[in-house]
């Protein structure tokens, strides 16, 4: 695991959405692909190696950033943290408490400290107390934190999806560390490609543009409940209108300025007056 004071060396390679890293040095953490850019993360400077990799792809090396890990993301404290009634501990914790989830966020979003992650976890906990959640779809899984929490809450079939290869690798490692590979399947791909099977719960902590394209899809109506996060107030109003057009009603909402998280319930499966109690958190 990466310690808070460890240095990260982040290289930007322009003009490619995927990149092959032959014979990577031990300092390579992973590759983050984003549109027409790739970002390579190392624990040591690797200028010559990155130049070679970029040349193989016919691409150009852009900027190089150097920062402490704690400035990239908070990371789990040594004693762990509790979010949404779930206890997360570092993956290398010597004696984790009973039912604690081992988690190594690496450089991927989802260490349990961000307000949108916390809100999703709390909503999941509240829902699980009144609605049976047997199967779940986690869109934009990141570290796999929501999928791991769902398994802890009793879900026995979970599909965790991310289009980013480094996120998929990180989530796979965390699933294996918790011996949950038989419960959680991790897949790489676009969120819209995984809506064709019904789920009790879909968690979507995603950018607004992605959510706006997902919600009008016909397959949306297969699912009982959605938890939507990663958006602001104005964006949530647009998305809630789209959900209403698909036969859903708002069953709960929380503001963690500037973030909004809300629950949409499908009226084919959930009574229209159903509201989930989030005041306990």
Is the pLDDT at 212 greater than 90? The verdict is yes
Residues of the chain with CATH 3.40.50.150: 118-266
State in words which class domain 118-266 has. Answer: alpha beta
Q: What pLDDT score was predicted for residue 176? A: 98
CA nearest neighbour of 227 among 149, 164, 113, 167:
149
DSSP secondary structure letters along 210-275: HHHHHTTSGGGGG-SEEEEEEE-HHHHHHHHHHHHHTTEEEEEEEEETTEEEEEEEETTTS-TT--
Q: What is the pLDDT of residues 44-56, one digit of tens each?
A: 999 999 999 999 9
Of 2.60.40, 1.10.10, 1.10.3470, 3.30.70, the CATH number of 7-72 is 3.30.70
Residues of the chain with CATH 3.30.70: 7-72
Least confident span in 35-39, 41-45, 111-115, 257-261:
35-39
Is the pLDDT at 83 greater than 80? The verdict is yes
Quickly state the pLDDT bin for 35 (edges 50, 70, 90).
confident
Tell me what percent of the residues of the chain surpass a pLDDT of 90.
Answer: 80
Q: What pLDDT score was predicted for residue 15? A: 84
Torsion of CA 147, 149, 155, 158, to 10 degrees: 10
Is there a contact between 243 and 226 (Cβ–Cβ < 8 Å)?
yes
């Amino acid at each position: 695991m990466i310690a808070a004071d460890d240095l990260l060396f982040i290289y930007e390679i322009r003009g490619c959405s995927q990149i092959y890293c032959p014979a990577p040095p031990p300092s390579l953490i992973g590759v983050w692909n984003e549109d027409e850019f790739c970002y390579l993360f190392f624990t040591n400077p690797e200028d010559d190696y990155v130049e070679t990799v970029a040349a193989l792809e016919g691409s150009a090396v852009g900027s190089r950033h150097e920062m402490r890990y704690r400035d990239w993301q908070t990371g789990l404290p040594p004693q762990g943290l509790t979010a949404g009634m779930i206890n997360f501990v570092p993956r290398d914790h010597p004696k984790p408490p009973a039912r604690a989830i081992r988690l190594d966020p690496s450089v991927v979003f989802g260490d349990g400290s961000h307000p949108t992650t916390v809100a999703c976890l709390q909503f999941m906990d509240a829902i699980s107390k009144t609605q049976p959640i047997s199967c779940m779809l986690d869109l934009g899984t990141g570290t796999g934190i929501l999928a791991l929490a769902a398994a802890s809450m009793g879900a026995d079939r979970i599909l965790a999806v991310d289009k980013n290869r480094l996120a998929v690798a990180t989530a796979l490692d965390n699933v294996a560390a918790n011996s949950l590979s038989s419960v959680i399947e991790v897949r790489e791909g676009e969120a819209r490609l995984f809506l064709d099977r019904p789920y009790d719960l879909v968690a979507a902590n995603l950018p607004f543009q992605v959510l706006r394209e997902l919600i009008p899809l016909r397959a949306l109506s297969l699912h009982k409940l959605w938890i939507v996060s990663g958006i602001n107030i104005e964006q949530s109003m647009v998305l809630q209108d789209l959900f209403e057009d698909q036969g859903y009603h708002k069953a709960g909402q929380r503001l963690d300025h500037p973030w909004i998280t809300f629950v949409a319930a499908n009226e084919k499966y959930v009574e229209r007056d159903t509201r989930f109690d989030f005041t306990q958190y």
